[in-house]
Amino acid sequence: MEIKVLSVNDTQFIKEAAMLLFDSFPHSFPDLTSALNEVYECLETEKVTLVAVEKWHVIGLIGAKPQYGLTGWELHPLVVLKEKRLQGIGSKLVAQLEKEILKRGGIMVYLGSDDENNMTSLSNCDLYDNLFDRLKNIRNLKNHPFEFYQKQGYGIVGAFPDANGLGKPDIWLAKRLIAQTFPKISL
């Protein structure tokens, strides 16, 4: 497997990446055209888009766009071919993306991880009530991807209650890419 920067000239890889999005997220990409548009958006000049390629076929896709100048970057999307999941491909894509972001002056990465299908203890409850306690005690009920990101060094930094409908939050995670220590402040 090879991880490479996706280019607008890689027409076959672009089509395969779109198909991967379409197959993996049919609720977000109801047709191949919408998935193709997403891949082309990922290829805009300031953004970073990588593909994992095996035997000349795309098996994974990851992208990020700069926010807050160039210091903060939003990771979106990340997808791995269903048959290739749980083999370390996603972890390798995240690690390579972080290296690319560092090269461009980024110091942190963040992402939203939706809970639209009651996969965590944050769904179907009033997150406006005791949000920080609920975040601190989050439980993964149905293999939600927030734990994958935690294994990559990301921490939960918040949630948007009802972002995807009543009781369907968007869980936000972030990671600092540079080593930095701050003095301890007692409150």
* 5 inside domain: yes
Whether residues 100 and 74 fall in one domain: yes
**pTM for this structure?**
0.92
The answer on 77 and 156 residing in a single domain is: no
pLDDT in tens, 91-100: 999 999 999 9
| Residue 185 within any structural domain of the chain | no
Location of structure tokens 């977000």: 28
Q: What CATH number has the domain bearing residue 86?
A: 3.40.630.30
- How many angstroms separate the CA atoms of 80 and 88, rounded? 10
Q: In terms of domains, do 81 and 16 share one?
A: yes
Q: Is it the case that residue 182 has pLDDT exceeding 80?
A: no
Strand order in the sheet with 108-114: 2-5, 48-54, 57-67, 72-80, 108-114, 170-176, 155-160
In a domain, 183, yes or no: no
CA distance 13 to 175: 29
Residue 150, CA distances (Å) to 41, 86, 103, 166, 178 in order: 27, 15, 23, 25, 17
In a domain, 19, yes or no: yes
Domain span holding position 156: 113-177
Task: Compute the distance between CA of residue 122 and CA of residue 172 in angstroms, rounded to an integer.
Answer: 12
- Choose the final residue of a domain: 73, 106, 139: 106
- Write out pLDDT tens, residues 119-175: 999 999 999 999 999 999 999 999 999 999 999 999 999 999 999 999 999 999 999
